[in-house]
């Protein structure tokens, strides 16, 4: 197939970088988003996402005219749906954005088009939800237009590189659809492109993130066991990982982001009778923020009225993405427990949490603290010198939930130092 014009619905963490990649390959791209602030910022030449290198590639795509932005789809050769798929409070998938995107394509869908769903979705979403909506156009999937599923598999902070270099999975509703998807992504993808059917591709994406979630859950349980038994879990993991067939991941305050903390629930929803292990892993990781609060309750002899500075709110280090962040959940739980919380998130300083003071600078965040709580291992926080920090805060208690600080250095600077999963040096 020949792709002269591609329409991408959803200009978020995946849609916008994908649009820029295609536009900078001399392909006309129309990027669509329902948020008027996103449209306005892009028209003004500013991206609304913190991702290394994205501002530069977006400027190029917009300046050359390869990328146009709109609030609705237009006729094109191919359509890529890259909208969010969050879940409801009962952990069921919210596919309303996917449905709305497919419905928006219907009026402009033409014979010979290709439609690709990228949004992470429960198995059979492409076949049972997207396909029937698109066929309201009067066109038949597999005959008049092609339909495929191709999940993103990239790491925030490295999206631009991984979009190009990572292997790509494309699942078609038929062989012709999968092949059309391969021709589309080959425009910019240098990694291997693997073809399969749509439901297998949906399953692959969920399996990848569910495997990670289960592995993190066992690490988080190990951190709780180490805390009970007077062990340093970080030392224990390092030793255990010397076994040639063992690779234990790092524990932390929980699991966040729009993938690992969400995707396993799609499998639980689709087959609750077959997924007790997946459900349990999710419950373990969802409970980890409360374990952090329990640690603070112990080391501070209660958190009510204590002034705690929480460093980092993003779901992982060196990104601005706060979706499903366990750090945010820790803060919520501390507020409920009566703590006085100041937060500092260097990648999103204006982010507000009810009942919490959001500091605009590190200096402001540290000034009145009784306790410093490291929730995200941003490079900026990992490189802090405790001897310098001691001069800028009255706090003399430091709690590290991500193993980002060196215990001996903080203790040498006069801090009582506590680390998640490390009861070895501070057993009280």
Distance, in Å, from the CA atom of 40 to the CA atom of 169, rounded to the nearest integer, reads 33
Containing 7, the helix (H) or strand (E) segment is: strand 5-9
Note whether 159 and 17 are within 8 A (CB): yes
Can 110 be counted among the known catalytic residues?
A: no
Residues in a beta bridge with 341: 308
List of residues 6+ apart from 204 with CB closer than 8 A = 151, 169, 196
Neighbours of 263 (CB within 10 A): 27
Distance, in Å, from the CA atom of 72 to the CA atom of 9, rounded to the nearest integer, reads 8
Residue 310, φ and ψ in degrees, nearest 5:
-95, 120
Distance, in Å, from the CA atom of 201 to the CA atom of 250, rounded to the nearest integer, reads 28
Q: Is the alpha carbon torsion for 125, 128, 133, 139 positive or negative?
A: positive
Residues in a beta bridge with 372: 309, 398
Pairing label, strands 67-70, 28-32 = parallel
Note whether 353 and 312 are within 8 A (CB): no
Q: Which of 259, 306, 316, 371 is catalytic?
A: 259
Q: Which of 205, 306, 316, 407 is catalytic?
A: 205
Can 205 be counted among the known catalytic residues?
A: yes
Note whether 82 and 118 are within 8 A (CB): yes
Residues in a beta bridge with 116: 80, 148
Pairing label, strands 397-400, 416-419 = parallel
Q: Report the catalytic residues.
A: 205, 259
């Amino acid at each position: 197939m020949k792709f002269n014009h591609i329409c991408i619905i959803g200009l978020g963490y995946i849609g916008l970088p994908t649009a820029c990649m295609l536009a900078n390959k001399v392909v006309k791209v129309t990027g669509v988003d329902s948020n008027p602030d996103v449209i306005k910022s892009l028209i003004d030449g500013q991206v609304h996402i913190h991702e290394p290198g994205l501002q530069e590639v977006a400027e190029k795509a917009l300046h050359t005219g390869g990328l146009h932005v709109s609030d609705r789809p237009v006729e094109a050769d191919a359509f890529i749906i890259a909208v969010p798929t969050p879940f409801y409070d009962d952990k069921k998938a919210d596919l309303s954005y996917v449905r709305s995107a497919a419905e928006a394509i219907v009026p402009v869908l033409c014979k010979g088009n290709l439609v690709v769903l990228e949004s992470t979705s429960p198995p059979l979403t492409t076949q049972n939800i997207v396909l029937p909506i698109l066929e309201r156009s009067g066109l038949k999937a597999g005959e008049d237009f092609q339909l495929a599923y191709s999940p993103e598999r990239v790491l925030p902070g490295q999206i631009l590189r991984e979009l190009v270099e990572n292997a790509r999975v494309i699942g078609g509703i038929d062989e012709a659809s999968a092949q059309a998807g391969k021709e589309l992504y080959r425009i910019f993808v240098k990694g291997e492109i693997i073809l399969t059917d749509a439901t297998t591709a949906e399953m692959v994406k969920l399996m990848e993130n569910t495997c990670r979630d289960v592995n993190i859950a066992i690490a988080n349980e190990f951190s709780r066991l180490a805390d009970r038994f007077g062990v340093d879990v970080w030392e224990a993991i390092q030793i255990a990982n010397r076994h040639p067939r063992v690779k234990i991941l790092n524990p932390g305050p929980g699991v966040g982001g729009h993938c690992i903390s969400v995707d396993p629930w799609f499998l639980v929803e689709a087959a609750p009778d077959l997924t007790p292990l997946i459900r349990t892993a999710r419950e373990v990781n969802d409970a980890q923020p409360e374990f952090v609060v329990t640690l603070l309750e112990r080391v501070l002899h209660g958190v009510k009225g204590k002034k705690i500075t929480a460093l980092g709110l993003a779901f992982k280090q060196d990104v601005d993405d706060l979706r499903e962040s366990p750090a945010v959940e820790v803060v919520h739980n501390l507020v409920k427990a009566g703590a006085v919380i100041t937060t500092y998130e260097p990648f999103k300083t204006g982010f507000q949490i009810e009942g919490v003071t959001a500091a605009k600078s590190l200096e402001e965040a540290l000034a009145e603290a009784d306790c410093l709580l490291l929730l995200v291992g941003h490079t900026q926080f990992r490189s802090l010198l405790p001897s310098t920090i001691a001069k800028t805060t009255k706090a003399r208690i430091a709690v590290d939930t991500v193993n980002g600080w060196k215990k001996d250095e903080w203790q040498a600077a006069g801090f009582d130092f506590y680390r998640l999963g490390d009861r070895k040096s501070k057993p009280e």
